[in-house]
Chains A and B, each alone.
Chain A
């Protein structure tokens, strides 16, 4: 299993804490880049030598929301190859369909229970660790 460079775009501090605590309790050595909103994320992604292997994206964000961010990403000739997994509370079918239409690599609902959350993150990262990704 290789280590991934993960860009987590999440505005909720506790959610970020949850993710960090999850990977550390799982003993995983992935590299984490944090962005609290879409604008920050786009700035980070401008550095072409620091492109992440995978992006985890929350949909409900201030300023540029998740779907808008996704659209910008998919129009970029380099960034469109970065698999983006939605990590959200929204079970709204419209959001789900809109995301798949633009192009996403997964749609994961955040569960209530922390234990469930840890399990989901474990499986998600395990899956992307065994995937072949574009060399950037």
Chain B
């Protein structure tokens, strides 16, 4: 190490020594200062305590008598002192409890509390500070605090405060606000136009509906403060009678009495209902409430309802049907004019009585009772009833009844509509008796025909027998001419007998549905051709498989027999033929009988079907055969006609219903 280096180190050491000595000196000085401050603090504390004690004794009385809670805390929030009210407010057990108030502050409020503490320190006091506290006994309370700093010789040492529980007040206030806002929303959106005026007719409150009804194109809130008197004069133009509107308004306004249900007709055909309610507090008029409601729809509904009602009422009272309404006890509630006429009783006599007891004929009472019972079970139907009118006349009614329901769907009685069918009924009864009579007279006619035929035939038979005997007994005495005359008598008798037989047959053809069966025409024809004699020179051919007909077997048989024998009779050719054919149609069968006989001139076509219109005066023709044919065809809902060429042949066509 060089001397130089040693010198440097020596100098540095010396500097260090002097620095330390200086530092020790400073330390010593500071310690003395600290001691002095400490002493001062001690003194001030003692003073403060003294002050406190003194204040204590001074405030004790006030303190204990304060209704509100009173709390003193140190600057960190520790409770130094509180009164009984504070104990109960904050949920303590006694006044000496040691507790930091900050702990009671709801965590969400901490920031606000810190800020308020700052205000308290900076400005020395804070008023109307509301805070949510969780009390010692775990209750949430909103409290109102007024606080100030306590200074000791200008130095803040503590804070004191009066705490009031405003939880309930707050809740009430909130409720009030809520209900107010509900109310105003309600008014704003009310279906009626509302205007609340103060005593000077300035608008205090109005709503959307009002602006809408009066075509005011601004927000209701902007109307507040406007003069109603002036604006109503403007609005009067909206009404059909502006003068009337204003006059009535002034009237109402002057009387200051409640007016309900004034109707105002507007230019745009709307109908407004106006109500006026003065608002009086004590004896003092505080304002007026006007409400306006659009009742156009109601009025038109009511009007059209009224019109409809009138219409149906007029239909009901003027229709030719008797209407009767009864309750569940069958007492008459309502009758219409027709029913009054139909019964002969007056409306007064009918209302309230039991119709079933006086109206129906004794014999029909049970029918009516039965039907009324069924109606109460909800049955609807119509039936016939005999009624005795007040004058004692018996009338036939067609009654249609239905249960009557109320709005809830319960049966409350029934309504009957009655139609007098006496005339129709009489006609029907008349028809029935006529039918019976007709049946009887038909029957008698049938019998009569047989008797007549018998009575006519008997003398013929006798004459025949006598003629025969005369001829027999005088065989040798009679000449040829006389014998011929006898023969003529006999053949005339035969013709006459045939005539009587045919008339009987013709008159016996009536329509008797009971005799109808399924008749196989095929079989009928085969039987006919087998039984009846056909001359050798005539060939009869029948189309195969003739149909089956619903009809009278004997008559159908006669029909074919008459046509065939007719054809046979009039065939004048050496080789004769008769063709029988049929064709099927939708509703009927058409048959044809064709021959190559002498033919019939067209001018006789209608005549031949008429009774006794024989064209040929022949021994074997009575002129009834075709009439019988036509009658039989008609009995089977058919028609008959013919086509014929004289000297060539004839075709008879006829139809029979399927």
Contact = CB atoms under 8 A, between A and B. Distances in A.
Interface of A: 12, 14-15, 17-18, 21, 60, 88-92, 94-95, 110-115, 117
Nearest to B456: A89
B465 A114 contact: yes
Contact of B454 (A17, A60, A115, A117): A60
A89 B458 contact: yes
A114 B450 CA distance: 22
B464 A112 contact: yes
A94 B450 CA distance: 10
A114 B457 contact: no
List the 10 closest A-B pairs by CB distance, nearest first: A114-B468, A14-B462, A92-B450, A114-B465, A89-B454, A112-B497, A18-B465, A89-B457, A90-B454, A112-B464
Interface centre among A17, A60, A94, A114 (most CB of B within 10 A): A114
B454 A14 contact: no
A95 B454 CA distance: 12
A15 B451 CA distance: 18
Contacts of B465: 14, 17-18, 114, 117
B345 to A, nearest CB: 55
B620 to A, nearest CB: 15
A114 B468 CA distance: 7
A112 B450 contact: no
B525 interface: no
A90 B493 contact: no
B461 A89 contact: yes
A112 B458 contact: no
Nearest to B458: A89
B454 A114 contact: no
Which of A92, A94, A112, A113 gathers most chain B CB within 10 Å? A112
Interface string B87-105: 0000000000000000000
A112 to B, nearest CB: 5
Contacts of A115: 468
Contacts of A113: 464, 468, 490, 494
B119 interface: no
Contacts, number: 49
Interface string B477-518: 000000000000010011001000000100000000000000
Contacts of B126: none
Given A12-B462, A112-B497, 4 more contacts: A17-B465, A60-B458, A112-B461, A114-B468
B450 A90 contact: yes
A11 to B, nearest CB: 10
30 contacts: A12-B462, A14-B462, A14-B465, A14-B466, A15-B458, A15-B461, A17-B465, A60-B454, A60-B458, A88-B454, A89-B453, A89-B454, A89-B458, A89-B461, A90-B450, A91-B450, A91-B504, A92-B447, A92-B450, A95-B450, A111-B461, A112-B464, A113-B464, A113-B494, A114-B464, A114-B465, A114-B468, A114-B469, A115-B468, A117-B465
Interface of B: 447, 450-451, 453-455, 457-458, 460-462, 464-466, 468-469, 490, 493-494, 497, 504
A113 B465 CA distance: 7
A14 B458 CA distance: 10
Contacts of A89: 453-454, 457-458, 461
B450 A12 contact: no
B457 A112 contact: yes
Contacts of A14: 462, 465-466
Given A60-B454, A89-B454, A90-B454, A112 B460 contact: yes
B450 A110 contact: no
A114 B489 CA distance: 13
A90 B446 CA distance: 12
A88 B457 CA distance: 11
A124 B70 CA distance: 156
Contacts of B464: 112-114
Contacts of A91: 450, 504
A12 B457 CA distance: 13
A15 B462 CA distance: 7
A117 to B, nearest CB: 7
B439 to A, nearest CB: 15
Contacts of B490: 113
B466 A112 contact: no
Contacts of B453: 89
Contacts of B462: 12, 14-15
A113 B492 CA distance: 12
Nearest to B498: A112
B493 A12 contact: no
B458 A12 contact: yes
A12 B461 CA distance: 11
Given A12-B458, A90-B454, A112 B468 contact: no
Contacts of A92: 447, 450
A89 B454 CA distance: 6
Contacts of A12: 458, 462
A92 B481 CA distance: 39
A72 to B, nearest CB: 22
A14 to B, nearest CB: 4
Nearest to A22: B465
B458 A21 contact: no
A61 to B, nearest CB: 11
Nearest to B449: A92
Given A14-B465, A18-B465, A21-B469, A112 B454 contact: no
Given A15-B462, A90-B454, A112 B494 contact: yes
B469 A112 contact: no
Nearest to A18: B465
B496 to A, nearest CB: 9
Nearest to B496: A112
The winner among A14, A94, A115 for most chain B CB atoms within 10 A is: A14
Nearest to A110: B461
Nearest to B554: A93
Contacts of B504: 91
Nearest to A12: B458
Of residues B453, B455, B460, B468, which shows the largest number of chain A Cβ atoms within 10 Å of its Cβ? B468
A115 B466 CA distance: 12
A46 to B, nearest CB: 29
A38 to B, nearest CB: 17
A81 B454 CA distance: 29
A27 to B, nearest CB: 15
Contacts of A95: 450
Contacts of A117: 461, 465
